[in-house]
Amino acid sequence: MAVGIFDSGLGGLTVLNAAQTRLPEVDFLYYADSAHAPYGVRNAEDIYNLTRNAVQDLWSRGCDLVILACNTASAAALRRMQEEGVPQGKRVLGVFVPLIEALTERQWGDNSPPREVAVKHVALFATPATVASRAFQRELAFRAIGVDVEAQACGGVVDAIEDGDMILAEALVRSHVDALKRKMPQPQAAILGCTHYPLMAEAFQAALGPDVQVFSQGDLVAESLADYLQRHPDMLGGGVAGYLTTGNPQKVSDRATQFLRRQITFKAA
């Protein structure tokens, strides 16, 4: 009985790790579309098609519930997938809503009208495709009013992380934070709007300064998933736990082991 977790590459491991810690009794099948990563520089149609194919593969493997642990996929594909229809007994969920609920201090599943919140100036760091979609701003508008969001497309960061070049990734983070601060000198909060970015959370915090609250998704998504499964225990599905990739399994396994600091072994999808 496994829940599917999908990402374009290895960033979703930050969500997987948090989910495994929060829900040790639940099995997970992680699917990395490494052959087509990164998604953040692709157009919306490509992202939709790649995401749909991967999710359908996970459904076919018995994962009734699939989490898109990829902000780009959540931004560019989730709504369209839901509008075009999800098969009976299957669900696909994204990662934006738990983050926004935490930012706006709303309870899980609170569907009351949008209202004023304490945080007024928010920096969003995300991939170019996520920024272009404006999906974060759209979801935020359902829950809060009067919040100024300044988005910064962080080109190159995902590539550097996937290549294991953390020195380059840190330099790029500093550069993107500097660019954001020229547009919004004093953000109150910062959203790490890509599941790769928590791997660079310390670099973001250092560049932003100690007064900026940095939100990243792993623990928030894990808590939201725990709440969802408590309400929908039938969604655990019948999949077999493990790690799949469309890329080179050995290379992806080595990178994943480096990121999580424990042995991770991928198989070909």
Active-site amino acid positions: 70, 194
From the list 150, 190, 217, the residue with the least C-alpha distance to 7 is: 217
Q: How far apart are CA 106 and CA 98, in angstroms?
A: 9
As given in the structure block, the two tokens for residue 3 are 């829940």
Q: How far apart are CA 8 and CA 16, in angstroms?
A: 14
Reduced to 3 states, what is the DSSP secondary structure of residue 195? coil
Reduced to 3 states, what is the DSSP secondary structure of residue 236? helix
Q: 31 near 57, Cβ under 8 Å?
A: yes
Largest distance between two CA atoms of the chain: 50
Q: At what angle do helices 13-22 and 249-260 cross, to 10 degrees?
A: 60
CA distances 112 to 142, 143, 144, 146, Å, are 9, 8, 10, 16
